[in-house]
Amino acid sequence: MSGGVTNSRNSPIEVLDRTYLMRGLRYRLRRGSGGAGLAPGGEGIERDLQVLEDCTVSLITERRVSQPWGLAGGEPGAVGENWLLPGGLERLEKSLPDKCTLRLKSGDVVRMLTPGGGGWGPPPSGS
């Protein structure tokens, strides 16, 4: 794989599929990741990318330890997560740190779960 992918958090999956030797397997909202509040925090994104040739990948992500805070009584959002699924196998999943460089083999999957946003204002009663 030549070149680099930057700011991939918002790159359309079709662009990654066509530009790099990788396949987007999952791209959806991360339900339940936004903090509760009168105005709930936004949902994060779940993205699985499978590499189609051996390559080196660097992750430079944030909010994998500290939660995005809520304001004015709103609850915090969920922290983000990074995972390696060797050969695409869920049973072999391995947690990855927020910042790392790793060598991947063809068929490996990197799973990125972005953090949710913090909520604003106290959650309505019954939430």
User: Where in the chain are the domains?
Assistant: 22-31+39-113
Q: Residue 32 — pLDDT band, cuts 50, 70, 90?
A: very high
Q: Residue 107 — pLDDT band, cuts 50, 70, 90?
A: very high
| Residue partners of 31: CB distance under 8 A and separation at least 6 | 43
Section 20-31 average pLDDT: 92
Please provide the DSSP assignment of 50-67 as one string: EESS-EEEEEE---SSSP
Q: Considering the entire predicted model, what is its pTM?
A: 0.85
Mean pLDDT, the chain, whole residue set: 90
Please say if the pLDDT value at position 113 is more than 80: yes
| Residue partners of 18: CB distance under 8 A and separation at least 6 | none
Instruction: Please identify which residue in the block is written with the tokens 């999943």.
Output: 93
